[in-house]
Amino acid sequence: MSLLDGQADGRKGGQGPVEQSSAEASSARPPDRPEDGMNRRRFLKVLGVAGGGSLAATACGSSSPEKLIPYLLPVEDQIPGVATWYATTCRECPAGCGVHARVREGRAVKLEGNPDHPINRGKLCSRGQAALQGLYNPDRVRGPMARNASGNFEPISWQDAITRVGERLGAAPGAQVRFVTGNEAGTFDRLVSDWLTTLGSSGHVVYEPFGYEAQRHATREVFGTDELPWYDFGAARYVLSFGADFLETWGSPLEYTRGFVASHAFADGTMGKFVHVEPRMSLTGQNADEWIAPVPGTEGVLALAIAHVIARDRLGSPPSDAARLRPLLQAYAPEAAAERCGVSAETIERLAREFAAGPSVAVAGGMGAQHADAHATAAAAHLLNYVAGNVGRTVRFGVAPNPAGGSRYQRLAELSQAMQDGRVAVLLVHGANPAYASPAGLGFASAIANVPFKVSFSRFLDETAMLADLILPDHDPLEQWNDFEPRAGVNLLQQPVMQPVFDTRQTGDVLLELARLMGGRMAQRFPAATYKDHLQNGWRRLHQQRGSRDAFEAFWTEALQRGGVWSEPRSRGAALAAGATRVAATPPAQPEGRFTLIAYPSSVLYDGRAANRPWLQELPDPVSKLGWSTWLEIHPDAANALGVTDGDMVEVTSDAGTVRAVAWVYPGIRQDVVAMPLGQGHTAFGRYAQDRGANAYQLLAAEPTAFGGVQHYAAVTVRATGEHENLATRAGSRRQLGRGIAQAVTLAAITAEGFHPFHEAHAAPVPEPIEKVLDEWQEEQYRDWKERGNYAGAHPRWGMAIDLSRCTGCSACVTACYAENNLPVVGKELMQRGREMSWMRIERYFEGEEGHPPEVRVVPMLCQQCGNAPCEPVCPVFAAYHTPDGLNAQVYNRCVGTRYCSNNCPYKVRYFNWFDYQEPSDQAFSWPEPLHWQLNPDVTVRSKGVMEKCTFCVQRIRGAQHDARMRGTPLRDGEVVTACQQSCPADAMAFGDLNDPGSRVSQLAADGRGYHVLDGLNTRPAITYLARVWNRAEA
Amino acid sequence: MSGRPGGVLAAFRHVDAAAHAVRQVKELGYKDFTVYSPVPNFEVMSAVGHRVSPVRVWTLVGGLTGCLSGYAMTMWMSYDYPLVVGGKALGSVPPYIIIMFELTILLGALATLAGLAFHTFRTHRAAAYDPRFTNDLIGIFVPCPAERQAAVQQALQQAGATEVRVEQ
Amino acid sequence: MGCHLIAGATIPEVAKVREAWSANQPIEWLKVHRMPPFVHFPHMRHLKGETAVKAEITCQTCHGQVERMPQVYQFSSLKMGWCLDCHKQNKVTTDCSACHY
Amino acid sequence: MAAVARPEPVRVPPTYSEITHDIAATLGRPGRTWYILLGFAISVMLLGAIALLYQIRYGLGVAGYRPPVMWGVYITTFVFWVGIAHSGTLVSAILYLFRSAWRTAVYRTAEVMTVFAVLTAGLFPLIHVGRIWYAYWLVPYPNQRQLWVNFKSPLLWDVFAVTTYLTVSTCFLIVGLIPDVAAARDVATGWRKKLYSITSLAWRGTDQQWRHYTRAYLYLAALATPLVLSVHSVVSWDFAMSIVPGWHTTIFAPYFVAGAIYSGCALVITLLVPLRKAFKLERYIHEDHFENLAKLLLLTGMLVGYAYAVEYFIAWYSGNEAERASFYNRAFGPYWWATWTMIICNGFLPLFLWFKKIRRSIPAMFLLSLFINLGMWFERFVIIVVSLSFEYEPYAMGHYTPSWVDWSVLAGSFGWFFMWFLLFAKNFPMVSIAEVKEIIPMPRKEDAHA
């Protein structure tokens, strides 16, 4: 069946690190679990159907006689202990990144970016990594369910379920059938539309909470086209962003990150400049060389004022017709604008000159495009690009990125109204959760009650599914046949990487079966037997269009292996349309005596669709470093005025509603603005999401904006409730206390006199002779073991270099580490006690005086694999020791748990198993069935009372060495890739052998910006950090 | 006590009297008599005139053994399964000195006890006893055949015994 | 499977195999050689490639004369000391992180 | 140390038989208070035991640990009890070598306290490890894994130091007991007579026994003396050997030893005062003894106070940012209360001991000793917890608050200690019969005649 041929032709090849007996494969499984037999049996019930069976990778320790379940029929390319890789497409957000799924014994255990993919080039963000926890989520709907008389869901058979839908559809007038989907650009999207049309309905509503309505509206006005522009961050040396958080959620974050880093990271003595304009300093804003906080909603004014200066002083090289804009721009003289947007005229003049010096790009998006005047902001940015002559250079058309499909909040509002009025007979919902992710005022949840028959295709019992009469759970994207078209010319394929975990069925198949069931027009219109056939039919057409010479089968196979087909887009510029001259920035009035709330998409949980992924819940937010909670960002002065501090519970009230959140005092926000992330506050959606934090949608106004979008700004009052909770974070001090952990230098300084690493202020320099004696003594020490046992002969010295000029702090590496190394998720209570286990953490420090806009520095902190490791000699049992190849190994099964090593580790990168996270009966059990199917068989799951730590993914090192030895050639540089390095979207990390002067890591380690953290302790770390370079006046 | 030889048992309240008695008994040519005392009393002990106890040799030997075995153990174990920690030499003496020291004390003390036990039991003589000897009386027991008991009894009496008793 | 239709067709144990096959149920074999989950042991490295320590190291070296066993039993202790003896005597690494990670 | 009190002439020394009688009298059948106290001690101990079992079942997480504070109440209490254990051997061994007469009346109490304190302390390294069931891996014994232990680790030094100390001080106690038990045997009746007959190891006080005994005792004392000084030095190196700011100091060994004797003497006083009342030993343990102990307290107290001062001075003088910050944080950070408790109790209160009135006032001494015990526990808390909570990596700093498990186990340790102490006190002489006699000259005939 699908899995089998999926593997037969879709195989990506690639070898797993080590062949293992099933007992070792089981290392990733909780040992001594009596119910393992049970697990395996139900595992077989699920997997066995296809005759595939599975080499159950389970261990029942020595207690019960252990059983092995072999393949009944050995499955092709499923060698026990050897990993297979399948290419597919990530569907966690609309960006459409290509992924490779690593499959062991029939289970997907890791997702990694597809290296030759046009969008993410082998990188993958946290949300992408966490897709696995969607696949194995214990709260997935395990089979079709129907609401019974008593109003509860009860399981039913697929046959029964589909018949019920068929009857309802047959009965209902076609026009009254509505279908809400998320962004499904591709075959499925078309299928749904055609399917509805054939039914006689035009009710296909695409709903993405972040719909890009403003950009579409603006682009139509200014350039008269419906397609969105594509921004070439790589070509722009100067980026001016009006609220666009392009490093987090906006557009295509990985792609934009890559481009941004390429042009902005310090290299060969030069770098671009990035100015971020937003009332709140987002993660993207933290990476800006300059952060400008205008009056909320006035970005448009600022943009036009800058355009004004450029036009006035004829700075740019605009197309001739830019002259038409003169009259429009007249109204935006810097002085006047300064008044309105709260940015000084000088600044405006300077920005204009810098911007026009080009190549530059102005981007309006994110929260800059979610307020009442957002369409003007977006239009203003277009005009600014136009007068600076960027259109056609850094701003291109013809690529048609499609981040939100045809989503328009307007349509959802209409649908909601229609339901209210009882004009909807059957409502089908797939891939959207409007009952949660829409302003409470819209009353979607209440309106849906008037619909007689509601079908949800959701994989989870989310808020909308809870309101349905029937749930027909869809396959997880990793179990599906599907395709996705994030932009023109990029057609991506999804193939099942493993057998379905539960008794689910792909919605495409369901729709086709329904068509068959209903017969007549429907049956003729959709003849395909399975959705896969339907998909292939579509691709046959694609095959012809591309006019590729080889047969379709070959084309298809190759596409599967590559993850899709794509071609360089033929991009073009655009000319001004009539509407361009009508652009006018009319900022909303500032609320009197109230704060402006900005409800922004969490860069981790996005709009809340990822809230049921434990990894993401536990991942500290890149800005606030808080997990598992909703917080209110508030300026120190405002906080003082209200008498609240970190961790105080505050009540936030808008005209739409009231929510409670924990206060987090943040100097990176305007005094008159507070901000709250979306994504939490679910009332359903499984154990990890439910009843956590607050849902900021409750505060947003329901009525659509002029351009048909949602307003993410609201006027609110904030009240201290007097309650307090410990922040769920490891972050101790916000400041570096002069320890030189994260070091930075300005471009001016480094070009003038280079980079001088931090030295402790009062530390007296060690006198020459003593230095010499010490070094000789040290060498003497080494000599004693250099010739002995495992330490004799030549070894690599594994090391890493991390370029802080590239690191954006996005934290993808952290999640990658969780996925690769079987790190347990400890939950909020333990996180409040600083007990999270993430071997890698992104430390965030504020620089500059208190109260002022901070300079934010981030530094990925993982085990430094010290040459003179303080942690090693204090271990009484050699559980911590130094491997011949220079790792600070930790032998988990030897560890007694004195925790002395952790006390003695200056970097605090050792983590202790306070509880038995692998033991189902334990209060802190971390892998409820079937979440543990994801566990990496190559890494031991640590038990209670054991210290654990990063070892540069030693399992990958040993695996690569194994392969090298088997093929008989030495290990090549870059052959070993650590999980964090592999995922890093900014490519900030290099890993390799420091003893090999030719290796990339050695070269980077020798860079002028290189420094070691806490160098004064003479720990001789294997990790070299390259200082951050700011393109700004003062550090 | 079985197999106890007959003899004369005397109790003294006064320490000088006891010391005198001891000397008397020695003059009578007795060596294997036993002196009881509630406290180690210099006067009496010097009258008895033992050589210094050989226990100290045990202490010395034990201590040395401890020290050496400490060195041997730490060094050998360090090289038997060589594992490097903190870039230090495999066998680095400074930390091992502590182990050596502790073992010196430990074996030294245990050996001393052993010595104490060994010598006291070796020099143990069966003799008559009176519970008051641990309280406030000094006692002397002179084992002698019946025909000579009278003489001994008299000598002790003269030395100032508070009471003298013949043990069969 | 083909073989077992003929080979040892009369042996009751083999009959079980055929039953399982016809019942389309995988056989639940009992695991004999058990290794703790925190040890990583590649068979390949001990048998194949230029790294195969010595020619005379065969399956039997560790698993015993399975072909002669009426019922398979655990031939070697599979304890750490046992591994180390062989490693030391063959002068291959005894580094902890070679097997434990 | 040379501060030996002259007994005041007015006091009539007891006769040998009186001594035997008075001290043997303490071994009579226990009264109700004793049973109540014992019952209380045992129930507190059980509370600790339950907490411990709970911790073993679910993992160390049930204790209050908050990274980076990986050592908390347990190690604090470990060091506390090891410290307590020091005065015993000091009084019995060192003062013995110094031939200071006044020790005879109090050394047994001190020694008993020592043994049980070490017994208590020894539990904590086990209680605090993550996998107590593998704690035996710290012992270098031949095993099939062919692995040995890491002698470079201060924790291993602890293993050796503490076990040695326990063994030696126990031997010392037992050896000292032999003649007394014999004395008790000879006046006792009933089951006690049987008990003492066995435990007195056939002691009769013969010339040969005394001959070897006195020597052995001397050498034990000679061995115990350096041991006392070494043990707490080794314990202090657990900290001094690491790189934690606030731990990495050369002054630690003498500083800890002084502190240990300080706290030990304090607890001796705390124990002696009620003991003397309950056992009516006023005639044997009187103001002179308390004054001498007070002088010891004063001396060590001043040393400790000096150490505090030096720590801060060095932190400043070193110019090391981390050190400075760490010590600033001690005094003015979130744990200021702990730091000031320690400074006031250990640094300032002992200054009262300059006054003879205080030194000779038993209630005052009792009160003072309680404060000093409290202060010394907090000293260890400050050194361990506060230093750890404020280390090199600012992002990884964190605040630690003990959980009910920590507190229960701490309380349990006291229950455990007092259980043993009470059991011992009622069954073996708490004042050395032989040695008290030793300092009183035996009657001489000529005196009698004169």
Residue A965 near chain D (CB below 8 Å): no
D-chain residue closest to A881, CA distance: D150
Residue C47: its pLDDT value, please?
A: 81
Query: Which of B41, B105, B115 is facing D442, going by the closest CB pair?
Result: B41
Residue A686: its pLDDT value, please?
A: 94
Tens digits of residue pLDDT in A606-617: 999 999 999 999
- For residues D397 and D387, what is the distance between their CA atoms, to the nearest angstrom? 10
- For residues D64 and D84, what is the distance between their CA atoms, to the nearest angstrom? 25
Tens digits of residue pLDDT in A76-106: 667 777 889 999 999 998 889 999 999 998 8
Residue D448: its pLDDT value, please?
A: 65
* pLDDT above 50: residue A19: no
A26 vs A257: which has the higher pLDDT: A257
Q: Residue A592, Cβ neighbours under 10 Å: how many? A: 6
A-chain residue closest to C44, CA distance: A19
Q: Of A878, A906, A909, which Cα lies nearest the Cα of A892?
A: A878
Residue A32: its pLDDT value, please?
A: 37
- For residues D130 and A875, what is the distance between their CA atoms, to the nearest angstrom? 13
Please name the helix (run of DSSP H) or strand (run of DSSP E) that holds residue A957, with its range, or none: helix A954-967
Q: How many CA atoms lie within 13 A of A660 on its CB side?
A: 11
- For residues A584 and C5, what is the distance between their CA atoms, to the nearest angstrom? 85
Residue A8: its pLDDT value, please?
A: 32
Residue numbers of chain B with a pLDDT score lower than 70:
1-4
Residue A47: its pLDDT value, please?
A: 35
Tens digits of residue pLDDT in D167-220: 999 999 999 999 999 999 999 988 999 999 999 998 999 999 999 999 999 999
- For residues D117 and D89, what is the distance between their CA atoms, to the nearest angstrom? 12
Tens digits of residue pLDDT in A575-616: 999 889 999 999 988 888 899 999 999 999 999 999 999 999
* pLDDT above 70: residue A1: no
User: Looking at residues C78-91, what average pLDDT do you find?
Assistant: 90
* pLDDT above 50: residue A691: yes
The alpha carbon of residue A827 is apart from the nearest alpha carbon of chain D, in Å, by 13
- What is the pLDDT confidence band of residue A211, given thresholds at 50, 70 and 90? confident
Q: What torsion do the CA atoms of C15, C17, C21, C24 make, to the nearest 10 degrees?
A: 110
Which chain B residues contact residue A864 at CB under 8 A? none
A746-785 burial code (b ≥16 CB/10 A, e <16): bbebbeeeebeebebeeeeeeeeeeeeeeeeebeebeebb
User: Looking at residues A184-196, what average pLDDT do you find?
Assistant: 93
Which chain A residues contact residue C19 at CB under 8 A? none
Token pair listed for A441: 């005022």
Tens digits of residue pLDDT in D315-349: 998 888 899 999 999 999 999 999 999 999 999 99
* pLDDT above 90: residue A468: yes
Taking the alpha carbons of B113, B117, B122, B125 in that order, is the dihedral positive or negative?
positive
Of A278-292, A471-485, A818-832, D275-289, which gets the smallest average pLDDT?
A: D275-289
- What is the pLDDT confidence band of residue A864, given thresholds at 50, 70 and 90? very high
Query: Which of B83, B85, B90 is facing A784, going by the closest CB pair?
Result: B90
Q: Of A679, A818, A609, which Cα lies nearest the Cα of A91?
A: A609
User: Looking at residues A827-855, what average pLDDT do you find?
Assistant: 91
Residue A922: its pLDDT value, please?
A: 85
3-state secondary structure of A278: coil
8-state DSSP, D61: G
- For residues A867 and B86, what is the distance between their CA atoms, to the nearest angstrom? 7
Residue type for A403, please? Answer: P
| % chain D with pLDDT above 90 | 83
Cβ-defined contact of C40 to A19 (cutoff 8 Å)? no
Which chain C residues contact residue A73 at CB under 8 A? none
Q: Of A758, A741, A762, which Cα lies nearest the Cα of A1013?
A: A741
Tens digits of residue pLDDT in D124-175: 999 999 999 999 999 999 999 999 999 999 999 999 999 999 999 999 999 9
Cβ-defined contact of A881 to B83 (cutoff 8 Å)? yes
Q: Residue D127, Cβ neighbours under 10 Å: how many? A: 23
Interface of B with A (CB under 8 A): 79, 82-92
For chain B, which chains pass the contact test of at least 3 CB pairs under 8 Å?
Answer: A, D
Residue A923: its pLDDT value, please?
A: 81
Tens digits of residue pLDDT in C4-29: 777 777 777 788 878 877 877 777 78
Q: How does the average pLDDT of chain A come out, rounded?
A: 89
- For residues A438 and A444, what is the distance between their CA atoms, to the nearest angstrom? 8
Query: Phi and psi dihedrals of D103, rounded to 5?
Result: -65, -30
User: Looking at residues A472-493, what average pLDDT do you find?
Assistant: 93
Residue A431: its pLDDT value, please?
A: 92
Token pair listed for A32: 């001594």
Tens digits of residue pLDDT in D76-117: 999 999 999 988 888 888 889 988 888 899 999 999 999 999
- For residues B99 and B92, what is the distance between their CA atoms, to the nearest angstrom? 12
Which chain D residues contact residue A785 at CB under 8 A? none
* pLDDT above 90: residue A401: no
Please enumerate in sequence order all residues whose Cβ is within 8 A of that of A852, keeping only pairs 6 or more positions apart, or say none: A667
* pLDDT above 60: residue A22: no
C-chain residue closest to D143, CA distance: C81
Cβ-defined contact of A868 to B87 (cutoff 8 Å)? yes
**CA distances (Å), A147 to each of A211, A431, A458, A460, D126, in order?**
32, 20, 15, 15, 56
The alpha carbon of residue A736 is apart from the nearest alpha carbon of chain B, in Å, by 27
Instruction: Tell me the β-bridge partners of A267.
Output: A270
Burial class for D242, CB neighbours closer than 10 Å (0-12, 13-18, 19+): buried
Instruction: Tell me the β-bridge partners of A428.
Output: A179, A455
Token pair listed for A624: 């606030």
User: Looking at residues A455-465, what average pLDDT do you find?
Assistant: 96
- What is the pLDDT confidence band of residue A828, given thresholds at 50, 70 and 90? very high
Residue C55: its pLDDT value, please?
A: 59
8-state DSSP, B129: -
Residue A489: its pLDDT value, please?
A: 87
Residue C45: its pLDDT value, please?
A: 82
Cβ-defined contact of B85 to D152 (cutoff 8 Å)? yes
* pLDDT above 50: residue A20: no
Q: How does the average pLDDT of chain D come out, rounded?
A: 92
User: Longest C-alpha distance within chain D, in Å?
Assistant: 86
- For residues A560 and A491, what is the distance between their CA atoms, to the nearest angstrom? 11
8-state DSSP, D222: H
Cβ-defined contact of B55 to D216 (cutoff 8 Å)? yes
Across the A/D interface, how many CB contacts are shorter than 8 Å?
A: 180
* pLDDT above 50: residue A55: no
Please enumerate in sequence order all residues whose Cβ is within 8 A of that of D3, keeping only pairs 6 or more positions apart, or say none: D292, D295
Report yes or no: A46 and A501 within 8 Å, Cβ to Cβ.
Answer: yes
Report yes or no: D386 and D246 within 8 Å, Cβ to Cβ.
Answer: yes
Residue with tokens 């869809």: A474
Residue type for A670, please? Answer: R
Residue D101: its pLDDT value, please?
A: 87
User: Looking at residues A718-747, what average pLDDT do you find?
Assistant: 93
Residue of D141, D146, D150 to mutate, interface with C, max C Cβ within 10 Å? D146
Tens digits of residue pLDDT in A742-787: 999 999 999 999 898 887 765 667 788 988 998 888 888 888 888 8
**CA distances (Å), D44 to each of A416, A516, D37, D54, D417, in order?**
66, 76, 11, 16, 10
Query: Which of A782, A789, A880 is facing B87, going by the closest CB pair?
Result: A782
The alpha carbon of residue A24 is apart from the nearest alpha carbon of chain C, in Å, by 5
Of A26-40, B27-41, D32-46, D414-428, which gets the smallest average pLDDT?
A: A26-40
β-strands A145-147, A470-471 pairing: antiparallel
β-strands A989-993, A658-665 pairing: unpaired
User: Looking at residues A342-358, what average pLDDT do you find?
Assistant: 94
Helix segments in A711-795, DSSP class H: 747-753, 768-786
Q: Residue D46, Cβ neighbours under 10 Å: how many? A: 14
Token pair listed for D237: 């190196």
- For residues A727 and A624, what is the distance between their CA atoms, to the nearest angstrom? 10
| % chain D with pLDDT above 70 | 97
| % chain A with pLDDT above 90 | 75
Instruction: Tell me the β-bridge partners of A649.
Output: A662
pTM comes to 0.92
User: Looking at residues A507-526, what average pLDDT do you find?
Assistant: 93
